[in-house]
Structure 1
Amino acid sequence: MKIAEIPYTQTPLLTTLVKDYLENKLPVEWGGIYPDWKDVEKKIEQRKSFTHRQLLVQIINKQYHSVALNEKVKNNIYSLQESNTFTVTTGHQLCLFLGPLYVVYKILHCIKLANELNQKNKQYHFVPVFWMASEDHDTQEINHVFVKGEMIKWNVSEPIPAGKLSTEGIEKAIEQLHKSLGLQQHSEAIISLFKEAYLNHKNLAQATRYIINELFGSYGIVVIDGDEREFKKIVKPIFKKEINEQCIEKNVEKAIQYMVPHSYKIQANPRNCNIFWLHENQRIRIERVEDKFYLSGTNQIFTKEEILNRIDETPEKFSPNVLMRPLYQETVLPNLANVGGAAETAYWLELTEVFKELNIPFPLLFLRASVVLIEEKTVQKIKKTELKVEDFFSEEGEPERKYLKKNNLVFKTESPLLTAFLEELQQNIVHIDASLETSAKATAQKIKNELEQLEKKVQRAIKLKNEVQLEQIKKSKEKLFPQNKMQERTVNFSEYFVNTPHFMGYIYEAIDVSGKNITVLKCL
């Protein structure tokens, strides 16, 4: 049951850049980029020339070799051979137990968007795709989740490409999760899923594909691993252009110039080389100094000719960074739309000029769906304070201030009348004797200071008398924003899955594919 739909742009949760994007207010230099359904036909025309369909299907089938395919997934994979089939893509790092809730929301949003496109455009077919960021090497970001306020951690810290991480040692994290979930209705089902995934698959990429296939395969989502030699052979020209021309830095800097006059936050600064080198399970930054290329933290140096030869001979050893990855994805997929978070949307917007330079069609960008799950007892607590759920999606301290104001409990000693009185008093005193001006000002300031101290005492008394109500507001806020963050950024889906018979379907139905609203949903 939906409790509320809150327009994202009416909250302080987005940067100005992303707000302006959602409201179609970006500067003209961006060329009217906006997630508009009317642009679907135009994007399809741009994508009809995609030429790697047979190879794409071969690669996906190879990656799925050990997975029992759902019929819908199988049909979607083979449909990619057809010229009227296009993809809708989302992606994420390979997090323990899928990570925070918003990863599930991303996946379901991608699926629902593809389904709606299928309903509106019967002559075409749209396939939802989850792109595994298997080369990302920040293991500190992916090795833990929170369930019922408790951190569950997998003791792995080697900074190696996540997809290659061995799943050995993950049993302890599964046991800890089992203990946290307790004897809930579907605890055994989710624990069995994770045991099968992590204990019977040798690395994190295989385990994550298995989990997504088990949870979402019935929707037809196709999982793709970007750590693939054949894909990288396709993008060799882009790797070379980056080496020869620094095309990402040059063109992102151009986009940043659009941003500066509007005080937009720069999400990702380009480097002079936006490629990593993969070697013996290490992902090493390539740093350019004139026409020499250094592998960071090593003594290895390449000349430009040497590194270009390496791209030809061993493209699989090159890995795109955060700004090159979208270019990689859009080159190897017939992609029409991308579903991503606010930060992702921001750095994709920085890449518009790079896409033009490389003649790659820029996809429709959809801000991923945002869902907040709320228990009935929290709904009742909020009702007792006579506030609305929407009031909690505002600036820090605003729900408390609104409650006090609503109940005429705001006490202010400062007023225009008092200020005017003190100014008039000073003027009258100076008029009588100018030498008393300093004394008059000091006395007026002393009165203000005394009144400020009195105001603080009165405010403390008000809060003390309304301690119960203010505590209810605080606890409600903690439920919606655990650890002072959006719930979806901290809590793992398993906490809610175990109590909700059809959790994925429930979320799917509630998702707003426009990405413009935060959906507040009552827990079943």
Structure 2
Amino acid sequence: MIKATLEPECTGQFSAFFLDYLHQKPSLKPFYNLFPSLENFKKAVQERSFSQEKREVLATALTGQYQKAGLECAAVEKLRDSKTFTVTTGHQLNLMTGPLYFIYKIVSTINLADRLNKEYPDFHFIPVYWMATEDHDFAEINNFNFDGEKYRWESQQTGAVGDFVLDGELKAMLKKWRFLPDFLREAYESSDNLATAVRKYVHHLFGEKGLVIVDGHDSELKKMFAPIMEADILEGKASELVQESTEQLEELGYKTQVYSREINFFYLDKGLRERIVKVGDAYEVLNTELKFTETELRQLIQKNPEKFSPNVIMRPVYQEVILPNLAYLGGPAEVVYWLQLKKSFDLYKVDFPLIMPRNFAMVIDANTSRKIERLGIPLKDIFMSFPVWKKAYVKQHSSHDLTLNDKKEALESLMDEMGMSVKGIHPTLETTSESTKTRMLKIMDHFCKKVVKAEEKNFSEDLGRMQAIKNTLFPKGVPQERYVNLLQFYLQDEQFIEKLFQHFDPLDFNYILLRY
């Protein structure tokens, strides 16, 4: 792989909010604590408060999670040490790893931990992958794209996707999908549920790099979060603060990413994840007959905290309560919505981590690379929309003046002269002349479009290559990393992920282009 970085050319896919944060716009500083620079991690270590009691609970719970999956992770024991801290990313339980950017998230996080371990040898930094096992949007994760086809697992199961049983339908599809590498096939065939399968394949890919996998759907871990659960459900103060931040950001001209609710928790049970709402003096679980008084709800939170699942507003707070965490790495939308949440962290006296983007990358395969070289185009051009790119390319390479500007100017001058010469005959002729000129110029514009189209036909071979480049690097109109699956490259080169480690720098926020 040969690395090349781009700065402004690729930013069209990112929001102004995200870009302003990366440029440390002063108006956004109230919405975060420390900007993710190497020197700020030292300050983050000094400020991070995490008790030994929490460390023991965390390490014990994670050991149990790994043992239940038949796995071992030596890095878990290091969490008991007061000088150990984590850097974290999170993602859904996508089928067969889902889009490439899931892999990019973890590689970025592992590289960040490695960088910090070298920079601050008196401490130890562990990369963490937080599995979104409690998410219930199965349609978002039940498919993957490989080699131009979409593969899908249909299931009638409901509730938290981590609990989904790997049924006969999936097992039958595994047999049909002969292209799957052994580690993926074995992860699913040897697991009872989706959470275990994902833990197994992620551990296979990244376990030796020291990655720790956390499943927040854990009774012992949620006990540490129970006081905040109770406060948010019964008092709803976080909702007010998130709404306040949201309004302030909207006043600054930024688009809202997530919206807070009065109660930011779901009720969680086998096959069920439904919102909790307050109706009068009672607390009801939507689409069920479940109803609780305030006293009953307090008792249930203390006895069975695992029955309460945080939504997008409270999950980050939960994460920071149970981990000695310093940084969260996410995509553009994640970075933005974390900045809406700082006031809720302050409310519950929870340390707010450094919020940083994962690495963004595009892999240019050999065939596509040859097309680019044959066209002689700069790499930045591939980020243009195709209509704009096409026009710019034809205009640059045509030997003709496709705008016909000199002809338009000559026509306009001629029509002006005609108007001047006839206005003495009758006053209305000057107005008629102007309207005639306008019509003639419109006819010229229409003719110019035909000229451009005709010249585009002369460049049809080059434009075909350009379209092929776009289709490969932006399939279905989205960046490659958000569509293509790991298998697209892994099956050709099992060292693909290892090569990513060589080129990703989590503290370099440029877009990475990799010629493969």
Tell me the TM-score normalised to structure 1 length: 0.92
Structure 2 residue aligned with 1:444: 437
**Count of residues in Structure 1 that have an aligned counterpart in Structure 2:** 510
User: Which amino acid letter does the alignment assign opposite residue 151 of structure 2?
Assistant: I
**Bigger CA drift: 439-448 or 338-347?**
439-448
1:364 and 2:354 correspond:
yes
Q: Distance in 2 between matches of 1:413 and 1:269?
A: 52
Q: Distance in 2 between matches of 1:419 and 1:350?
A: 57
Provide the secondary structure at the position in 1 that maps to 2:266. strand
1:8 touches 1:516 (CA, 8 Å); kept in 2? no
Structure 1 residue aligned with 2:6: 6
Structure 1 residue aligned with 2:162: 163
Q: Distance in 1 between matches of 2:280 and 2:9?
A: 44
**After superposition, where does 1:71-110 map in structure 2 within 5 Å?**
73-74=73-74, 76-110=75-109
**Bigger CA drift: 503-512 or 284-293?**
284-293
Q: Distance in 1 between matches of 2:255 and 2:184?
A: 39
Structure 1 residue aligned with 2:510: 517
**After superposition, where does 1:305-324 map in structure 2 within 5 Å?**
305-324=295-314
Q: Distance in 2 between matches of 1:79 and 1:240?
A: 31
1:370 touches 1:515 (CA, 8 Å); kept in 2? no
Structure 2 residue aligned with 1:398: 388
1:30 touches 1:352 (CA, 8 Å); kept in 2? yes
Q: CA deviation at 1:299?
A: 3.7
**After superposition, where does 1:229-248 map in structure 2 within 5 Å?**
229-248=219-238
1:338 touches 1:365 (CA, 8 Å); kept in 2? yes
**Bigger CA drift: 61-70 or 33-42?**
61-70
Provide the secondary structure at the position in 1 that maps to 2:206. helix
1:64 and 2:54 correspond:
no
Is the alpha carbon distance of 1:332 and 1:442 closer, same or farther for their aligned partners in structure 2, counting shifts above 3 Å? same
2:9 touches 2:383 (CA, 8 Å); kept in 1? no
Structure 2 residue aligned with 1:187: none
Is the alpha carbon distance of 1:227 and 1:458 closer, same or farther for their aligned partners in structure 2, counting shifts above 3 Å? same
Q: Distance in 1 between matches of 2:493 and 2:451?
A: 47
2:10 touches 2:380 (CA, 8 Å); kept in 1? no
Q: CA deviation at 1:200?
A: 1.2
User: Which amino acid letter does the alignment assign opposite residue 428 of structure 1?
Assistant: M
Q: CA deviation at 1:149?
A: 0.7
User: Which amino acid letter does the alignment assign opposite residue 41 of structure 2?
Assistant: V
Q: CA deviation at 1:257?
A: 2.6
Structure 2 residue aligned with 1:50: 51
1:512 touches 1:519 (CA, 8 Å); kept in 2? no
Q: Distance in 2 between matches of 1:228 and 1:399?
A: 51
Tell me the TM-score normalised to structure 2 length: 0.93
Structure 1 residue aligned with 2:428: 435
Q: Distance in 2 between matches of 1:338 and 1:298?
A: 35
Q: Distance in 2 between matches of 1:419 and 1:362?
A: 66
Q: Distance in 2 between matches of 1:116 and 1:172?
A: 43
Q: Distance in 2 between matches of 1:389 and 1:174?
A: 39
Q: CA deviation at 1:393?
A: 1.6
Structure 2 residue aligned with 1:185: none
Structure 1 residue aligned with 2:448: 455
Provide the secondary structure at the position in 2 that maps to 1:88. strand
Structure 1 residue aligned with 2:24: 24
**Percent identical:** 32
Structure 1: gaps (5+ residues): 182-189
Q: Distance in 2 between matches of 1:276 and 1:383?
A: 53
Q: Distance in 2 between matches of 1:217 and 1:394?
A: 39
Structure 2 residue aligned with 1:184: none
Q: CA deviation at 1:419?
A: 9.1
1:412 and 2:403 correspond:
yes
Structure 2: gaps (5+ residues): none
User: Which amino acid letter does the alignment assign opposite residue 171 of structure 2?
Assistant: E
Q: Distance in 1 between matches of 2:401 and 2:285?
A: 61
Is the alpha carbon distance of 1:53 and 1:419 closer, same or farther for their aligned partners in structure 2, counting shifts above 3 Å? farther
Is the alpha carbon distance of 1:430 and 1:191 closer, same or farther for their aligned partners in structure 2, counting shifts above 3 Å? same
Structure 2 residue aligned with 1:139: 138
Q: Distance in 2 between matches of 1:275 and 1:426?
A: 76
**Bigger CA drift: 481-490 or 25-34?**
25-34
| Partner deviation per Cα, 1:141-200 (whole Å, 9 max, x = no partner) | 11110110111111224332111011123223323432xx4xxxxxxxx53212221111
User: Which amino acid letter does the alignment assign opposite residue 383 of structure 1?
Assistant: E
1:233 touches 1:315 (CA, 8 Å); kept in 2? yes
RMSD: 2.2
Select the residue among 192, 195, 198 that pairs with 2:182: 192
Q: Distance in 1 between matches of 2:114 and 2:482?
A: 26
Q: CA deviation at 1:385?
A: 1.6
